Structure 1
Amino acid sequence: MAASTPFSMVRNRGPGRIPLDWTTRISLVLGAARGLAWIHEEYGAAKIPHGNVKSSNVLLDKNGAACISDFGLSLLLNPAHAIARMGGYRAPEQTETKRLSQVADVYSFGVLLLEVLTGRAPTQFPSPARPRGKEEEQELDLPRWVRSVVKEEWTAEVFDQELLRYKNIEEELVSMLHVGLACTADQPEKRPTMGEVVKMIEEIRVEQSPLGEEYDESRNSLSPSLATTEDGLTGY
């Protein structure tokens, strides 16, 4: 597997850098999902997880295909210390269990997907439900920040502004948001398997979208029709 270039939404921003288009982003997350699904299936009997899913471990080969790196590293560490030493996105239950798992990998992938959709790093954000204050500021991780924005019916605020300039992708954005929120469900048993995640993404788009991606320089927000999608997100 000849992969050397790390994929990162955050590094691909700023002066002199060209933001990734929507087709490229879907291709990257689908490739990562397929790789993670293969690991889970191949080592399903032993339930061996990847254990360190994060954007810097999604590498691009010379053809631009996404590959998952660092698999097996967690097996070299003492299980009691693996959570602390691995830098992947942690699932809520890992705070108590201190164990790596395939179902926690799904959560980590969900954070990666939300990172691609929002263009934000999975750090902490102030809650839109409460005003900012120097003495008191409620902070949330990326999945909870996304949920808080959706709950306040500001779904358009979730997505990366660069994506909002593309025409005819509103339904795909919302569908991918559904996948990301499903993967990051707080309860492990409510998360889909990575095999199911791959199928969900493929149903949204396998290669090129039949809708096409026409970039509109003047466009800076989603169409008002997006406001009708919040009801479909309340289950997450």
Structure 2
Amino acid sequence: MGESRPSLDWDTRLRIAVGAARGVARVHAEAGPKLLLAHGNIKSTNIFLNSKHYGCISDVGLSSITTPLGPPVARAAGYRAPEMSDTRKPTHPSDVYSFGVLLLELLTGKSPVHATAGDEIVHLVRWVHSVVREEWTAEVFDVQLLRVPGIEEEMVEMLRIALSCVARTPNQRPKMVEVVKMVENIRHLEKRQSS
């Protein structure tokens, strides 16, 4: 979703979010109660689109449970949960954090770590938090999306979900199965609010 890529419409971004959420939840569910399998490398370059433009996760394997991941610097820093600096083993909550970064990327059209015109390094999660804290929420969204009427409430709801996923502490983040339900329900917002 970096600045040099073509813009995606809102429906496609929503389908990417739904499909990717389902995929990560499936990885978490497949492991069972004794084996907590985490993806460990959720990022936009590991999301592919199927023929209906739903996101499909890739780079799924057993390596995360058999050998430790490389040093934290070797992984995509912008997607890494804060607690991952203390451990190399991915967890379900660290996957949720990475998924939240992916949602922010879909909403903003910005990379997780990017440089400004003045070569200042900007971390997407910190930037979004600062903009929302200042109550400039509309500044968060990709300008291409702001031109489309009738999707503002859906974008704000996805932002709310993303912010819950990137909560600083792991126990404050929702489970992926909950994230799936929340993302799937975004499209039903207007129907609920008009009734």
TM-score w.r.t. the length of structure 2 is: 0.86
Correspondent of 1:194 among 167, 173, 176: 176
Correspondent of 1:180 among 162, 172, 176: 162
**Aligned-residue CA RMSD in angstroms?**
2.7
Alpha-carbon distance between aligned partners in 1 of 2:62 and 2:28, rounded to the nearest angstrom: 15
**Does 2:94 align with 1:109?**
no
Aligned-pair distance for 1:118?
0.3
Specify the alignment match of 1:96 in structure 2. Answer: 86
Aligned-pair distance for 1:73?
5.8
**Does 2:26 align with 1:34?**
no
Specify the alignment match of 2:132 in structure 1. Answer: 150
Is this contact kept in 1: 2:20–2:56, CA < 8 A? yes
Does the C-alpha gap of structure 1 residues 12 and 198 become closer, same or farther in structure 2, counting only changes over 3 Å?
Answer: farther
1:68-147 residue pairs with structure 2 within 5 A?
68-72=57-61, 74-75=63-64, 78-79=67-68, 81=70, 83-87=72-76, 89-124=79-114, 140-147=122-129
User: How many residues align structurally?
Assistant: 190
Is this contact kept in 2: 1:51–1:74, CA < 8 A? no
Aligned-pair distance for 1:80?
5.6
Which ranges of structure 2 fall in alignment gaps of 5 or more residues? none
TM-score w.r.t. the length of structure 1 is: 0.72
Alpha-carbon distance between aligned partners in 1 of 2:134 and 2:186, rounded to the nearest angstrom: 26
> Structure 1 or 2: larger helix share?
2
Alpha-carbon distance between aligned partners in 2 of 1:70 and 1:158, rounded to the nearest angstrom: 29
CA deviations over 1:51-81 (Å, ceiling 9, x no partner): 1100010011344332110001643873163
Identity value in percent: 50
Which ranges of structure 1 fall in alignment gaps of 5 or more residues? 1-8, 127-131, 212-236
Q: Relative contact order: is structure 1 or structure 2 higher (C-alpha 8 Å, sep ≥ 6)?
A: 2
Alpha-carbon distance between aligned partners in 2 of 1:188 and 1:76, rounded to the nearest angstrom: 19
Runs of 4+ in structure 1 off by over 6 angstroms are none
Does the C-alpha gap of structure 1 residues 169 and 64 become closer, same or farther in structure 2, counting only changes over 3 Å?
Answer: closer
CA deviations over 1:120-171 (Å, ceiling 9, x no partner): 0000467xxxxx999xx7x552111101011112111100000000111111
Deviates more, 1:31-40 or 1:66-75: 66-75
The AA in structure 1 aligned to 2:151 is I
Deviates more, 1:110-119 or 1:146-155: 146-155
Deviates more, 1:61-70 or 1:91-100: 61-70
Aligned-pair distance for 1:99?
2.1
Aligned-pair distance for 1:100?
1.2
Aligned-pair distance for 1:83?
4.0
SS in 1 for 2:174: coil
**Does 2:187 align with 1:205?**
yes
